[in-house]
Amino acid sequence: MMKKLIKILSRTSLHIVIVAIAVIWMVPTLGLLVTSFRLPQDVARTGWWTVFQTPFSFTQFALENYENVITKQGLGKTFLNSLFIAVPATIFPVLIASFAAYAFAWMGFPGRDYILMAVVALLVVPLQMTFIPILRIFNLLHLSGTFLGIWLAHTGYGMPLAIYLLHNFIAGLPADLLDAATIDGASPLQSFFRIVVPLSLPAIASLIIFQFLWVWNDLLVALIYLGGAPNVAPVTLKVANLVGSRGQDWELLTAAAFVSMVLPLIVFFSMQRYFVRGILAGSVKG
């Protein structure tokens, strides 16, 4: 009897602790979301939690803040810039790295293992080590402040991790399959597209999601290479600037932050499995 009571008590406290932690984790984001839909005069006057006193009076909510940040503050344009930066900056490195990973895994050439080790060792290089020389070259070539420049930079920075991850996966594919293809007369390029890519899709998908979100959420690389060019700025840069210039206008900041978060959140909820895998694999990047 006593034992059973202790068991029930400890189960209850376990649930309480877990639910409490989950709630604490959610509340900050919830506050952001609620505030972004409130009227500016309310945001400045009362806390966002007061909306729950009258949850069904819908007049306290409006899309005004979103309209304001997307059009007047120009966040819509920067959102498109972010897309225009992140899509090529994901495709280029993944494509190039998958060729390289295939070559490292299945083609014999002298010094292969040492070159691969050197590539992986480049993961230790903090991006800060590269900014000044590359920016100087970019300035000479008129690439700073351009989309092409930041695509190239992200391609370079994404390369070691992408090669490392894809090599691990591709090297694990069954050798018989590739041998059979070669015997049947498939060229290396054919076996790459017909066998290696389809079989590696789970790894490639995780990598694509990781790289896309990394570029989308990046601030530092954008500051360095696009910092002086507002017309090509991504959404993170714009939000960071708004924090500096409109630091007390919470209705604007919360709406702007949510606009910058909406795409990653969709990716998170729709492709959670690949998302988690990608994040776990990419945690040591840059």
Cα separations in angstroms, 127 against 29, 41, 120, 141, 220: 30, 43, 15, 21, 9
The radius of gyration of the chain from alpha carbons, rounded to an integer in Å, stands at 24
Q: What angle do CA 131, 135, 138 make, to 5 degrees?
A: 145
Contact 264, 216 (CB under 8 A): yes
Binding segment toward another protein, per CB under 8 A, in 14-22, 52-60, 70-78, 140-148: 14-22
In the bound state with another protein, the residue whose beta carbon lies nearer, of 8 and 276, is 276
Pick one of 124, 140, 183, 270: the residue that binds another protein (CB under 8 A).
124
Q: How far is the CB of 279 from another protein (least distance, A)?
A: 6
Tokens matching residue 194? 């017909």
Q: At what angle do helices 75-106 and 250-270 cross, to 10 degrees?
A: 30
131 near another protein, rule: CB under 8 A:
yes
Pick one of 70, 89, 97, 233: the residue that binds another protein (CB under 8 A).
97
Three-state DSSP at 59 gives helix
224 near another protein, rule: CB under 8 A:
yes
Distance CA 190, CA 184 (A): 11
- Bridge partner list, 38: 61
Q: Which residues of 216-248 are buried (b: 16+ CB within 10 A; e: fewer)?
A: bbbeebbbbbbeebeebbbbbbbbeebeeeeee
Encoded one letter per residue, x for contact with another protein by CB under 8 A and - for no contact, window 57-96 reads ---------------------------------------x
Q: How far is the CB of 126 from another protein (least distance, A)?
A: 5
Binding segment toward another protein, per CB under 8 A, in 139-147, 157-165, 177-185, 189-197: 157-165
Encoded one letter per residue, x for contact with another protein by CB under 8 A and - for no contact, window 22-61 reads x--xxxxx-xx--x-------xxxxxxx------------
12 near another protein, rule: CB under 8 A:
no
125 near another protein, rule: CB under 8 A:
yes
211 near another protein, rule: CB under 8 A:
no
Distance CA 215, CA 222 (A): 9
> DSSP states of 11-35 as a string?
HHHHHHHHHHHHHHHHHHHHHHHHH
Q: Which amino acid is at 165?
A: L
Q: How far is the CB of 41 from another protein (least distance, A)?
A: 12
Contact 79, 259 (CB under 8 A): yes
Q: How far is the CB of 225 from another protein (least distance, A)?
A: 12
Contact 285, 218 (CB under 8 A): no
160 near another protein, rule: CB under 8 A:
yes
Of residues 226 through 285, those in contact with another protein by CB under 8 A are: 236, 239-240, 243-244, 250, 253-254, 256-258, 260-261, 264-265, 267-268, 272, 275-276, 279-280, 283-284
Q: How far is the CB of 13 from another protein (least distance, A)?
A: 11
Pick one of 150, 163, 178, 207: the residue that binds another protein (CB under 8 A).
163
157 near another protein, rule: CB under 8 A:
yes
